[in-house]
């Protein structure tokens, strides 16, 4: 393995080579907790595949074009874009790149209705959250969040990906094996280079923060138990030999086995904290969120509710709590 690093004001690029394949990492720093937006240019036999596409910002665009230039590549060398999941910080440059060179954009099958902003799906999604927040006892804070979702719906067309999208329906793409790893998002995939033991990990495993598992409905409007899915996906990752993870944010991860255990343990410990509060008589998701996250309940409502609901699912799945509905609200009780 050979590394070459270059740094300037905006970007950090890092290069790893092994047996005819080179990964050029593009990391664009951000002041948020994510630390950086990472995406990867994989070079093999003069062909380039881009894995993920950053966020739609001037900095990301500059970083990407700068890398192409300084490596002597052009847009003509790009063969395809491959996407790990539908979040906007992973698909940001897709339309700009495709406008320069019309290449296939491969996305998880379950991403398409989200990336294309399918109106029926997103209308259903708003109803799903309206019902969910009511059932979780959120009251006014929940209604406020629904108004936000409705406002965002008005601007939906602006967020639609224009490029043609191709669902990834093979077991491999560009010599990489795809592994479904839902949890952080319902459509999440990671891509494994089995020979080199490299993994393009999207947001499944991040070195400096635990990746969140956002509450979402599936296509039919059924709530996905996202923290349980994330746990399962991390356990699945444990069963592969991986030397290097190329993550969606932060630093490269070498030998991820220990970090996987830390993340699995983190889920369990957070769930145990929720359980302690349930045992102390804090019995609805909304009350738990307000007790455990105080100020953030208002300012980061959807994230906080995802955390609580996801970990309540985890406790339910591990038979630590049970719930019953009273006057339209779920009440949790320790078993």
Binding site for Zn ion (CB under 5 A): 89, 203, 248
CB of 303 to Zn ion, least distance (A): 13
The string of DSSP letters for 47-116 reads EEEEE----SSHHHHHHHHHHHHHTT--GGGEEEEE-S---HHHHTTHHHHHHHS---EEE-GGGHHHHT
CB of 200 to Zn ion, least distance (A): 13
d(C-alpha 285, C-alpha 32), whole Å: 27
Decide whether 99 or 209 has the Cβ nearer to Zn ion.
209
**In Å, how far from its chain's centre is CA 33?**
14
CB of 210 to Zn ion, least distance (A): 13
Backbone angles phi, psi at 67, to 5 degrees: -65, -45
CB of 266 to Zn ion, least distance (A): 18
Decide whether 89 or 229 has the Cβ nearer to Zn ion.
89
CB of 329 to Zn ion, least distance (A): 33
Decide whether 248 or 310 has the Cβ nearer to Zn ion.
248
Rounded to whole angstroms, the maximal C-alpha distance in the chain is: 65
Decide whether 227 or 271 has the Cβ nearer to Zn ion.
227
User: Burial level of 316, CB count in 10 A (0-12/13-18/19+)?
Assistant: middle
Decide whether 30 or 65 has the Cβ nearer to Zn ion.
30
């Amino acid at each position: 393995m050979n590394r070459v690093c270059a740094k300037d004001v905006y970007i950090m690029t890092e290069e790893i080579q092994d047996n005819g394949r080179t990964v050029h990492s593009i990391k664009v720093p951000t002041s948020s907790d994510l630390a950086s937006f990472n995406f990867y240019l994989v070079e093999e036999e003069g062909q380039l595949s881009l894995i993920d596409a950053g966020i739609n910002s001037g900095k990301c665009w500059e970083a990407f074009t700068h890398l192409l230039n300084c490596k002597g590549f052009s847009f003509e060398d790009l063969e395809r874009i491959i996407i790990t999941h539908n979040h906007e910080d992973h698909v940001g440059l897709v339309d700009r790149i495709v406008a320069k060179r019309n290449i296939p954009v491969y996305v998880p099958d379950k991403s398409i209705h989200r990336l294309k902003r399918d109106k029926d799906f997103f209308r259903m999604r708003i109803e799903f959250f309206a019902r969910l927040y009511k059932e979780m006892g959120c009251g006014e804070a929940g209604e406020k969040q629904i108004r936000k979702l409705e406002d965002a719906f008005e601007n939906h067309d602006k967020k639609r990906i224009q490029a043609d999208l191709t669902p990834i329906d093979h077991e491999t793409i560009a010599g990489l094996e795809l592994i479904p790893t839902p949890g952080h998002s319902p459509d999440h995939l990671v891509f494994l280079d089995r020979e080199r033991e490299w993994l393009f990990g999207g947001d499944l495993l991040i070195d400096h923060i635990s990746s969140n598992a956002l509450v979402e409905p599936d296509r039919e409007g059924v709530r996905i138990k996202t923290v349980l899915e994330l746990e399962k996906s991390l356990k699945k990752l444990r069963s592969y030999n991986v030397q290097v993870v190329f993550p969606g944010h932060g630093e490269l991860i070498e030998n991820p086995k220990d970090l996987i255990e830390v993340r699995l343990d983190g889920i369990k410990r957070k769930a145990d904290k929720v359980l302690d509060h349930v045992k102390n008589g804090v019995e609805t998701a909304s009350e738990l969120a307000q007790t455990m996250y105080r100020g953030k309940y208002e300012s980061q409502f959807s994230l906080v509710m995802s955390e609580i609901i996801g970990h309540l699912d985890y406790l339910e799945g591990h038979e630590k709590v049970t719930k019953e509905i009273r006057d339209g609200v779920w009440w949790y009780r320790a078993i």
